[in-house]
Amino acid sequence: MLSRHQDPIAAIATAPGRGAVGIVRISARQDLTPIVEAICARPLRPREATYLPFLDAQGGAIDQGLALLFPAPHSYTGEHVLELQAHGGPVVLQLLLARCIEAGAALGIRLAEPGEFTQRAFLNGKLDLAQAEAVSDLIDASTEAAARSASRALAGALSHEVGELRDALIKLRMLVEATLDFPEEEIDFLQQADALGRLQRLTAQLDGVLDRTRQGALLREGIKVVLAGQPNVGKSSLLNALAGAELAIVTPIPGTTRDKVSQTIQIEGVPLHVSDTAGLRETDDVVERIGVARSWDAIAEADVLLFLHDLTRIGEAGYEAEDRAIGERLAAVPRERIMQVFNKADVAGAAQAPEGALTLSAKSGQGLDQLRRRLLEQAGWHATPEGLFIARERHVQALRRTREHLAMAGAVARQEPPALDLLAEELRLSHDALGEITGTFSADDLLGEIFSKFCIGK
């Protein structure tokens, strides 16, 4: 994709389907006057909407609408951009797009690839990589909190935080690199400049950004929650209670759920992708056996596993033996990801769940609020959406690598005497990892992967 970024491009910039208004967008380094003359038959004033007919090759009107011209560099992509706002019928927009390709043939115009307009905004310095990703996140936001946080990231909140870290890191790198030029004074120079103190303050600042970034990643990615346990412990009832709708069939017959049933809900703006799974048991039913196998696959991918138990059956030898067998197989799942939940508290009488387990009733709603709070705590959520910026797992991993190299730099700096060449190298690696977030240091294949997930026209 990067090798073609000098070509003029065109695409429908609005969502597929029928609508009141549809937009065809063109971006090019070249002057767009030939296309404007061919389609609009008159000059356009920069950044001023002009109502006129859009003409085909024979001079007939395809449609009537608004034309806007944004000369470079004052446009979304930083190039010359023409937007044609027509009625939002699919046929009309396809005719208008085809006419743009036809009129721009001499310029070498082509259809845009997914995300190519935003990619050009990045390549032309209109957005950094974190802001460009926030464009996609804003479009895909599934909750109000995620949308607001994506808007803050698009405005540069994450980039500003990373920029402050980068500036502090550059100053520290300059200090160490300069010291390498004066080896006879290196120890006194570093001590006088408080190099170790600067490194510690930088690390503390990074920890704060990393924490906020993890919260932002939760807002974007959400949490995969899987309901698992023996048949008839109330998994489907709990899914319905959390979703507030009858999504899964609930019957007294064991094995009713044969396949995974999923629903996305939100708690405090955080998306939770909740999946009800087939009851875990040995069975001769071929279809149910496939469902059980899929249940174990879902368990392996869960961020949080709710291991459901039937509070009314505590003390039943056969039931508890099956629970122990499931628990033994769950030994491969990290303990911090498993939440023990005892259901049917409304009909359990005096039965008590083990200490530390959560007791609830999916039928009456008892304990559901506590479960919601525990789910957020289990996932590591503790921030409020206000002031938070959206982030991706890629950003979290880059910050973690930065943190690891800073930790190694600190260990080197505390040595007597410090190995300045190793210290300089660890700081350089920290700088490189940090630069991956905003795109200062980014491989072409990473950029291709990021922008390919955008919609066409954006």
Annotated binding residue at 453?
no
Question: Both tokens of residue 27?
Answer: 């971006």
Task: Say whether 14 counts as a known binding-site residue.
Answer: no
Query: DSSP character for 315?
Result: T
Token pair recorded at residue 397: 């991993």
Tell me the Cα Rg of the chain.
29
25 among the known binding-site residues? yes
Please, what is the Cα angle at 412 between 410 and 418, to 5 degrees?
A: 125
Is the dihedral angle over the CA atoms 5, 9, 15, 17 positive or is it negative?
A: negative
Positions in the chain whose pLDDT score sits under 70: 1-3, 181-190, 245-260, 284-285, 288, 383-387, 441-450, 453-454, 456-458
Is residue 432 marked as binding?
Answer: no
Cβ(388)–Cβ(216) below 8 Å: yes
Is residue 261 marked as binding? no
Residue 255 assigned to a binding site: yes
143 appears as a binding residue in the annotation: no
Return the amino acid letter for 132: A
- pLDDT score at 454: 66
Question: Which residue has 């937007």 as its token pair?
Answer: 83
Q: Is 258 exposed, middle or buried (0-12, 13-18, 19+ CB in 10 A)?
A: middle
Query: Which pTM was predicted?
Result: 0.76
At 274, is the secondary structure helix, strand, or coil? strand
63 DSSP β-pair partners: 54
| 171 labeled part of a ligand binding site | no
Tell me: is residue 253 an annotated ligand-binding position: yes
Consult the annotation and say whether 124 binds a ligand.
no
Q: What is the predicted pLDDT for the residue at 251?
A: 46
CA distances from residue 342 to 72, 308, 359 in whole angstroms, order as listed: 63, 6, 5
Residue 233 counted as an annotated binding residue:
yes
- Residue 154: φ, ψ to 5°: -65, -35
Instruction: Please tell me whether 439 is known to bind a ligand.
Output: no
On whether 236 is known to bind a ligand per the annotation, the reply is: yes
Beta-sheet pairing, 338-343 with 358-359:
parallel
CB neighbours of residue 318 within 10 Å: 8
173 assigned to a ligand binding site: no
pLDDT of residue 295: 81
**For residue range 14-45, what is the model confidence (pLDDT) as tens digits?**
988 899 999 999 999 999 999 999 999 999 99
Q: Is 346 annotated as a binding residue?
A: yes
**Residue 188 confidence (pLDDT):** 60
Residue 442: the pLDDT is: 54
pLDDT of residue 46: 96
- Tokens at 275, concatenated: 């999946």
Domains of the chain listed by start with CATH number: 2-124 (3.30.1360.120), 136-218+392-438 (1.20.120.430), 226-379 (3.40.50.300)
d(CA 425, CA 386): 38
